Amino acid sequence: MTSRLEALCMEKGLKMTGQRRVISQVLSEADDHPDVEEVHRRAVQIDPRISIATVYRTMRLLEDAQVIERVDLGDGRARYEEATADHHHHLIDTRTGRIIEFASPELEAMKERIAHELGYKIVGHRLEIYGVPLDDAGDDAQDEEERP
Amino acid sequence: MTSRLEALCMEKGLKMTGQRRVISQVLSEADDHPDVEEVHRRAVQIDPRISIATVYRTMRLLEDAQVIERVDLGDGRARYEEATADHHHHLIDTRTGRIIEFASPELEAMKERIAHELGYKIVGHRLEIYGVPLDDAGDDAQDEEERP
DNA sequence: ATCATACTGAAAACCGTTCGCAATCCCAGA
DNA sequence: TCTGGGATTGCGAACGGTTTTCAGTATGAT
């Protein structure tokens, strides 16, 4: 069965090897933001003969083909998500590591305006919010020592 | 002569060694966002016997003491700036690498609101805008291939 | 001045990522 | 369907930024 991303790859004219098929499948099924190691872990479960180097190479390939997008969440390793048309950003739950995506047209407009005021045209941007759930934010939220 | 940051370090009760004094001086005089290697380069000019390991250690120390702040501009290495009371963000000129700081109370409020709507309390956040100058944005700005 | 303690330099270890190379695979063309 | 040759792979080595180890040194409280 050909996965969503595999179809996309073929559309883009990428040579479809067994490894790329497996990685595409893994990424199609992922609903989180896995890093390379995690993608490899999942890929190996489908076909044990996939090396981490190939995962690295394939992620870069898919990124260049704009099939996936790299997300730098400041934890020192690259994470990935499927490429989407709309710009969105991430709220990271510092307690659990959960990542919540959100979009805000107003925010986009405001950034656009700020850049313009500074004499610049935006070619890219990223916003990350680190937070703790409101309900249990009372205890150690104040001196939560994060190194984002 | 004791530099601004050196005074701050003493206030915080940090043991002031020769190396820390020099690094504090370098950071006090910096008006840009140097990475560790750059700080080391400048420090060595004042006292050649400072090792890069000490710079790494001192930067971490000063960061933990909230004397300086680490800025991750997505270029794979840590950059630093003096800690400030107000939250500000960075606009990076992708042509020249120039970094422009800016602050926007409205932006802060909007982020606060967004996080709140998602049920979160903000403990940290960062926004980076990558852009090109408006005046010469016409040529290759469209397909500027950045990997931020 | 003394001394325990914290700090330093140098080199090795680390971690995520990329590269070099020989072996292997994919697929356009026959 | 078979084949040839460029693209892709696995492995291990290399890489760049950062941290650590360890023996030697400097600091500042006494």
Query: Tell me, what's the pLDDT at A145?
Result: 42
Mean pLDDT throughout A60-76? 92
Residues 6+ apart with CB under 8 A from B53: none
Fold match flag (B1-85 vs B86-135): no
Asked if the Cβ–Cβ distance from B131 to A121 is below 8 Å, we say: yes
Mean pLDDT throughout B10-33? 93
- Specify whether the CB–CB gap between B55 and B38 falls below 8 A: no
Helices (H), chain A: 4-11, 18-29, 36-46, 52-64, 105-117
Asked if the Cβ–Cβ distance from A107 to B114 is below 8 Å, we say: yes
Residue A53 CB in 7 A reach of strand C: yes
A35-44, A96-105, B131-140: least confidently modelled range: B131-140
Nearest nucleotide to A78, CA against C1' atoms: C16
- Specify whether the CB–CB gap between A52 and A37 falls below 8 A: yes
- Specify whether the CB–CB gap between B60 and B98 falls below 8 A: no
Asked if the Cβ–Cβ distance from A118 to B72 is below 8 Å, we say: no
Stated pTM of the model:
0.85
Residue A112 backbone dihedrals phi, psi, to 5 degrees:
-55, -45
Q: How far is the CA of A16 from the C1' of C28 (A)?
A: 14
Encode pLDDT of B115-129 as tens digits.
Answer: 999 999 999 888 999
Mean pLDDT throughout A7-30? 93
Encode pLDDT of A91-133 as tens digits.
Answer: 999 888 889 999 999 999 999 999 999 999 999 888 999 999 9
Query: Tell me, what's the pLDDT at A63?
Result: 95
Domain ranges of chain B: 1-85, 86-135
- Specify whether the CB–CB gap between A121 and B131 falls below 8 A: yes
Check CB contact of A128 with chain B, cutoff 8 Å. yes
Average pLDDT, chain A: 89
Query: Tell me, what's the pLDDT at A137?
Result: 47
Query: Tell me, what's the pLDDT at B147?
Result: 42
| Separation CA A115–CA A128 (nearest Å) | 18
Check CB contact of B16 with chain A, cutoff 8 Å. no
Query: Tell me, what's the pLDDT at A60?
Result: 96
Query: Tell me, what's the pLDDT at A143?
Result: 42
Query: Tell me, what's the pLDDT at A136?
Result: 64
Residues 6+ apart with CB under 8 A from A91: A99, A100, A101, A102, A128, A129, A130, A131, B114, B115, B118, B120
List C-alpha distances in Å: A40 to A48, A49, B141.
10, 10, 35
pLDDT tier at A26, thresholds 50, 70, 90: very high
- Specify whether the CB–CB gap between A103 and A126 falls below 8 A: no
pLDDT tier at B12, thresholds 50, 70, 90: confident
pLDDT tier at B87, thresholds 50, 70, 90: confident
Nearest residue to nucleotide D8, by CA–C1' distance, is A17
Nearest nucleotide to A61, CA against C1' atoms: D8
- Specify whether the CB–CB gap between B68 and B62 falls below 8 A: yes
pLDDT tier at B75, thresholds 50, 70, 90: confident
| Whether residue A141 has pLDDT greater than 80 | no
A49-63, A90-104, B47-61: least confidently modelled range: A90-104
- Specify whether the CB–CB gap between A55 and A36 falls below 8 A: yes
Which tops the pLDDT comparison, B65 or B141? Answer: B65
**For residue A108, with 0-12 CB atoms within 10 Å meaning exposed, 13-18 middle and 19 or more buried, which class applies?**
middle
Architecture per CATH, domain A86-135, reads as: 2-Layer Sandwich (3.30)
Q: What CATH number labels B1-85?
A: 1.10.10.10
Mean pLDDT throughout B53-67? 95
